[in-house]
């Protein structure tokens, strides 16, 4: 089993799990729920059904009491208040990776195509936003959208409308293969470097990158903003490491 990603909902963590290959359509994927202390509340909270065939689940996000999950070329939707589920095919999708929401729509990064797909949750209609090559993690913070690139080793600010070209931070020299990204309330940005086996923080002015942690194969990350805890899933470790507020201060 390979733990891929986490998303915090209230005080509990939701973790997508890949069994086997990272992009294999095998129907063996599942989603777990973690207790606040990191113990498992439900190992297989959701798994493949006739309505939602979970194979290689990756990015997760929540909008309007619905959990959205990226899975190769579709996005699954699970009702957080009941057993309901459904699957939305994404036209032209190749390797859907991370998900994020601005509170109105759901956005999915497509690593192979280097684009972001905007999904209207009410109509399931989609539109494509040109992004960057090998785009991986995406997020919103303080009214802006950000992403990281796996092959370009860089962090970017994105225009959700697609009208303005992505703006690189100019920090690629620090990283190997970026995976996850989160924004802190003060504007600092935390990223996970999968092959760099590390987690970094970038200053709000985008000028300084500081290594916070040495961890092996960190995938997507999540932050409990109430407790200021950092959740780091280890892709090849089958575990989620939880770090307290000191980690986010570089202590």
Residue 37: the pLDDT is 82
**pLDDT above 70 (res 6):** no
Of 131, 168, 167, 137, nearest in space to 150 by CA: 137
Contact partners, residue 211, CB within 8 Å, separation at least 6: 198, 199, 200
pLDDT value, residue 50: 83
Separation of alpha carbons 166 and 151, rounded Å: 15
Residue 8 scores a pLDDT above 50: no
Mean local confidence (pLDDT), 164-192: 97
- Is 24 in contact with 55 (CB distance < 8 Å)? yes
State what percent of residues in the chain have pLDDT above 70: 95
Tokens of 94: 């190749």
DSSP characters for 109-126?
EETTTTEEEEE-TTT--E
Quick check: is 139 in a domain? yes
Confidence band of 101 (pLDDT split at 50, 70, 90):
very high
Looking at residues 170-180, what average pLDDT do you find?
A: 98
Which CATH number does the domain housing residue 225 bear?
Answer: 2.120.10.30
**What is the average pLDDT across 82-89?**
91
Note whether residue 251 is domain-resident: no
Q: How many domains does the chain have?
A: 1
Question: Dihedral (C-alpha) 68, 25, 146, 81: value to the nearest 10 degrees?
Answer: 10
Q: What is the mean pLDDT of residues 112-120?
A: 98
Q: What is the pLDDT of residues 16-28, one digit of tens each?
A: 999 877 888 999 9
pLDDT for 40 beyond 80: yes
Q: Is residue 76 pLDDT above 60, yes or no?
A: yes
49-74: pLDDT as tens digits:
888 899 999 999 999 999 999 999 99
**Res 204: pLDDT:** 97
Instruction: Output the pTM of the full model.
Output: 0.94
Residue 176 has a pLDDT of 98
Whether 17 is covered by a domain: the verdict is yes
Residue 250 maps to a domain: no
* Distance, CA of 51 to chain centre: 23
**In whole numbers, what is the pLDDT of the chain averaged over residues?**
92
Q: Tell me: the pLDDT tens digits for 204-225?
A: 999 999 999 999 999 999 998 8
pLDDT at 242: 92
Instruction: Using pLDDT thresholds of 50, 70 and 90, give the confidence band for residue 3.
Output: very low
DSSP strand pairing (209-214 vs 222-224) = unpaired
What was the pLDDT predicted at 12?
Answer: 63
Is residue 40 one of the residues assigned to a domain?
Answer: yes
Is 166 a domain residue? yes
Range of the domain at 114: 2-245
SS (H, E, C) the chain: CEEEEEEEECCEEEEEEECCCCCCCCCCCEEEEECCCCCEEEEEEEECCCCCCCCCEEEEEEECCEEEEEEECEEEEEECCCCCEEEEECCCCCCEEEEEECCCCEEEEECCCCEEEEECCCCCCEEEEECCCCEEEEEEECCEEEEEECCCCCEEEECCCCCCCCEECCCHHHCCCEEEEEECCCCCEEEEECCCCEEEEECCCCCCEEEEEECCCECCCEEECCCCEEEEEECCCCEEEEECCCHHHCC
Q: Looking at the predicted structure, is the pLDDT value of residue 115 above 80?
A: yes
What average pLDDT does the segment 72-77 reach?
Answer: 96
pLDDT in tens, 125-148: 999 999 999 999 999 999 999 999
Gap between the Cα atoms of 130 and 112, Å rounded: 12
């Amino acid at each position: 089993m390979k733990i891929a990603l986490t998303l915090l909902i209230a005080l509990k963590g939701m973790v997508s799990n890949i069994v086997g290959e990272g992009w294999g359509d095998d129907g063996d994927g599942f989603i777990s729920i973690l207790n606040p202390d990191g113990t498992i509340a439900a190992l297989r909270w959701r798994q493949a059904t006739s309505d939602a065939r979970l194979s290689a689940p990756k990015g997760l996000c929540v909008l309007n009491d619905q959990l959205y999950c990226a899975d190769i070329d579709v996005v699954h939707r699970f009702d957080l208040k009941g057993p309901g589920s459904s699957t939305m095919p994404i036209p032209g999708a190749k390797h859907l990776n991370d998900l994020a929401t601005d509170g109105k729509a759901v956005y999915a990064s497509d690593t192979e195509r280097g684009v972001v797909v905007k999904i209207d949750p009410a109509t399931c209609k989609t539109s494509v936003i040109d992004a960057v090559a090998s785009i991986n993690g995406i997020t919103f913070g303080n009214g802006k959208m950000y992403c990281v690139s796996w092959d370009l080793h860089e962090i970017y600010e994105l225009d959700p409308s697609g009208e303005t070209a992505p703006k690189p931070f100019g920090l690629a020299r620090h990283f190997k293969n970026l995976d996850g990204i989160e924004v802190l309330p003060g504007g600092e940005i935390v990223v996970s470097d999968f092959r760099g086996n590390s987690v970094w923080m970038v200053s709000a002015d985008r000028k300084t990158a500081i290594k916070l942690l040495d961890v092996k194969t960190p995938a997507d990350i999540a932050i409990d903003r109430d407790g200021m805890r950092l959740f780091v899933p280890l892709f090849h470790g089958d575990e989620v490491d939880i770090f307290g507020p000191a980690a986010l201060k570089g202590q």
